[in-house]
Amino acid sequence: MAAAVDGGAPDLAGLLERIAADVAPLIGSGTPAEYIPALAEVDPRHFGMAVADLDGNVHGVGDWRVPFSAQSITKVFALALALAEGGDSLWRRVGREPSGNPFNSLVQLEHENGIPRNPFINAGALVVTDRLQTLTGDASSELLEFLRAESGNPDVSFDAEVAASEHEHGDRNAALAHFMASYGNIDNPVPALLDHYFWQCSIAMSCADLARAGLFLARHGLRADGSRLLTRSEAKQVNAVMLTCGTYDAAGEFAYRVGLPGKSGVGGGIVAVVPGRCALAVWSPGLDSRGNSVAGVAALDRFTTLTGLSVF
């Protein structure tokens, strides 16, 4: 059924409807992120999925146009901007290996001298945001403008309620930032860094927005306007880190089931990339024990199974 992605809207629409029907029994399973009160209140019965082709055409099913908190999905875009602005010197400050620990863990930092394992655990994302802040002077606004441009939606914005909720319950992230600062791996004042990080995580986007925004990775580094954000090699690197580290400490299971580079967020969203073909986004707020959307992972699993599209 690979032709459904490149062929017409009717085939793709039918494919998405079938996937939604297949995963319907799982919608509402799992638990929304309870440690962020603004997210804990979201109805877990939401489900949306969108696929964007290389020309930016998007098709979806369910709640695919409903904005939700992107959370850690934004780490992919922050990483891309930091690499585009500052080159691969970033990799001296953050690794590229799976952590094997929860996304907010402090455990490895002391053993590894304040260098986070990868850019998608919270410690690594804080380093990336710190680098982007140094490069741009306004990391969160730079990221927001990029997401508006790539999604084609000028209404993409921060969610002040979510940002405030993150601030109020951000002690673990503050501890991570201060700990890395003690090793000289944070350049900006920790309070300012946390502000930008919490605003970044609060950005609200729909599946349609995220699928379009992720297309630069499917286009091997080319933005929506045809300009080059990343070299082909850099785009490959970002996709590779997404595959090995993008779904917290369940990346092996995600690669096994889905077979695509992907990045999840505790808002229940996941963005995934088929290099050279399309980008996808799915949203369902019920999370498994590792912080990934139960119905979302299942939907992406069905997509790659039905289409035969994966990186393997």
Q: How far apart are CA 63 and CA 172, in angstroms?
A: 32
238 is catalytic: no
266 is catalytic: yes
Q: Active-site residue among 23, 127, 238, 266?
A: 266
72 is catalytic: yes
197 is catalytic: yes
Helices (H) and strands (E) in the chain, counts: 15, 7
Q: Active-site residue among 61, 127, 248, 297?
A: 248
Q: How far apart are CA 274 and CA 70, in angstroms?
A: 20
Instruction: Considering only CA atoms, give the Rg of the chain.
Output: 18
Q: Answer whether 112's CB lies under 8 Å from 183's CB.
A: no
Q: Answer whether 300's CB lies under 8 Å from 258's CB.
A: yes
The amino acid at 186: I
236 is catalytic: no
The CA-atom distances, in angstroms, between 134 and each of 131, 141, 152, 186, 252 are 5, 13, 27, 10, 33
Q: Which residues does residue 108 pair with via DSSP β-bridges, in sequence order? A: none
Residue with tokens 């996304």: 103
How many angstroms separate the first and last alpha carbons of the chain?
16
Q: Active-site residue among 75, 151, 202, 284?
A: 75
Q: Which residues does residue 24 pair with via DSSP β-bridges, in sequence order? A: none
Q: How far apart are CA 188 and CA 144, in angstroms?
A: 20
Dihedral of the alpha carbons of 230, 234, 239, 241, in degrees to the nearest 10: -130
Transcribe 132-180 into DSSP letters. HHHHHS-HHHHHHHHHHHHHT-TT-B--HHHHHHHHHT-HHHHHHHHHH
Q: Active-site residue among 162, 165, 197, 284?
A: 197
Dihedral of the alpha carbons of 179, 183, 188, 191, in degrees to the nearest 10: 10
Active site residues: 72, 75, 197, 248, 266
